[in-house]
Amino acid sequence: MASSRTVLGIVGGVGVILLAGWFALDEHDSVNPVFNQPSEAPSVVEPAVVGTEAPVSQMIAEAPAPEITRAVPSSQDQVRLSFAPVVSAVAPAVVNVYATRVEQRSASPFANDPFFQRFFGGRTPYQSRPQTSQSLGSGVIIDPSGLILTNSHVVSGATDIRIALTDRRELGVELVLDDPETDLAVLRLSEPETEPLPSLGFADSDTLEVGDLVLAIGNPFGVGQTVTSGIVSALARTGVEASDYEFFIQTDAAINPGNSGGALVDLDGNLVGINTAIFSRSGGSVGIGFAIPSNMARVVADAGSRGGDIVRPWLGARLQPVTPELAESLQLSSPSGALVNEVAPTGPAMQAGLQTGDVITAIDGVPVTTPATLNFRLATMPLGTEAELSVVRRGETVSLNLPVEAPSGGTDVSATTIEGNTRFAGATAETLQPALAEQYGLSYEASGVVITDVAASSPASAMGLATGDVILTLNGIEIENAETFSQLASQRQRVWEIVLQRNGRVIRTRVSG
């Protein structure tokens, strides 16, 4: 009995304490903890609809239930989404590309050491030896006769190129056009096939929209043909630095090493782009891949089918992006367009009437957001036509007709490639002209010769010459044109005193012959 009273006393005491706590909390307008709430649920006061006094729940209860019709799938085919029909149609036209290169590698482990090279005057006492390497990529058959489109970086410098079809046949091909400026190349079968090959047609990449479904097909990491799906994540991407004409399609379809040169297709089975680059910190896909638009690929493919070089239109004006500060000073509604900051003394821009300070906002009705946009659009236009430019000049919009034409004389016949056993062997140089100056970011008034190509593993490459270098003097002799450069650079000299311009800087160097 005593123990019962003790228990009741403890319970009663706890009850008094809890009750006191309850009133204390209420006194201070505090929110009651969950365990302090009464067991009975509080009443809910429903709002009435405006103009009535009936609660909403009552009105809903009295309203007739709507008739909902649900279509129940009657088969698996009605609920299954598959890209299989598209893949079966386009996959046979996508091939694997194997490119073999033979490079001269020094037998010395110190050959690339700057101190070692300086000690031996740029030469190595160890004999170099050839080393064979193989790169792997993808390609797209664009003509049943056996014309294949791939990336320039997949096949550039290759001594032997082969393709593998989806039926595992391997065929020899030859390089008919290499265009590093767009990172595209055209291959052709060494021996024609008796039966036409499967091929893909070109879509109009200008009709693509962000959100469109696309498929990427290629041979990632050499595991075999692989298909991935995604959407167009963005259009007209720049800053990728994968080619001179930056206007890429961005997709989240998985693209990995080995996919280069492969196909990006729409759901109609047409080619919308050539996969060429990825953004990645790990080396694998992170959902940011880039493809060259089909409208640019078509231009290169057409030139390759003719077996000739590409002659592109040129503008004859130097451009720069419009920043927010420039937009404000130029009274533009947004920082968009291409600002003209220099016009060549001769060329299409001068003929059209472009002036320094003009802002090009559209070409043939298509908005121009950056200089890269204008360069891409112009490069895809046929020679001999005219393009209409929309230009903002001192706050007013004017229209100008720009002739779409090649640089004077077309390709430069004065280009020369140094051969033989000289320090400049493997270098290709051209006499500077306004179009070349524009291409390499030089002043239109620049003169001399510019290095337009340096063969891999050549003496010129080992000496350090780079594409875009302007050769000013050799051993004190001024270089005025490619012919003078060829005469001097083909000679053997014990020592070369070279003065060149690179990225706006004048460099003087001395190398052994």
260 is in an annotated binding site: yes
Angle among Cα 230, 232, 236 to the nearest 5 degrees reads 150
Strands (E), 203-337: 213-218, 226-237, 248-251, 263-265, 271-278, 289-293, 317-321
Do 218 and 275 form a contact (C-beta atoms < 8 A)? yes
Is 183 assigned a ligand-binding role in the annotation? yes
Q: Is 266 a catalytic residue?
A: no
Do 161 and 97 contact (CB within 8 A), yes or no?
yes
Given a contact cutoff of 8 angstroms between Cβ atoms, the answer to whether 352 and 402 are in contact is yes
Rounded Cα–Cα distance for residues 450 and 430 (Å): 6
Please say if 30 is a catalytic residue: no
Q: Are 442 and 455 in contact (CB under 8 A)?
A: no
183 is catalytic: yes
206 is an annotated ligand-binding site residue: no
Catalytic residue among 135, 138, 153, 178: 153
Q: What is the 3-state secondary structure (H, E, C) of 5-53?
A: HHHHHHHHHHHHHHHHHHHHHHHCCCCCCHHHCCCCCCCCCCCECCCCC
219 is in an annotated binding site: no
Selected catalytic residue, list 260, 294, 458, 486: 260
Q: What is the DSSP letter of 196?
A: P
Active-site option among 178, 183, 252, 469: 183
Determine the Cα–Cα distance for residues 461 and 439; give it in Å rounded to an integer. 21
Q: Do the annotations mark residue 266 as ligand-binding?
A: no
SS3 label, residue 217: strand
Give the single-character DSSP code of 332.
-
Annotated binding site for substrate: 153, 183, 258-260
Cite the active site residues: 153, 183, 260
Annotated binding site: 153, 183, 258-260
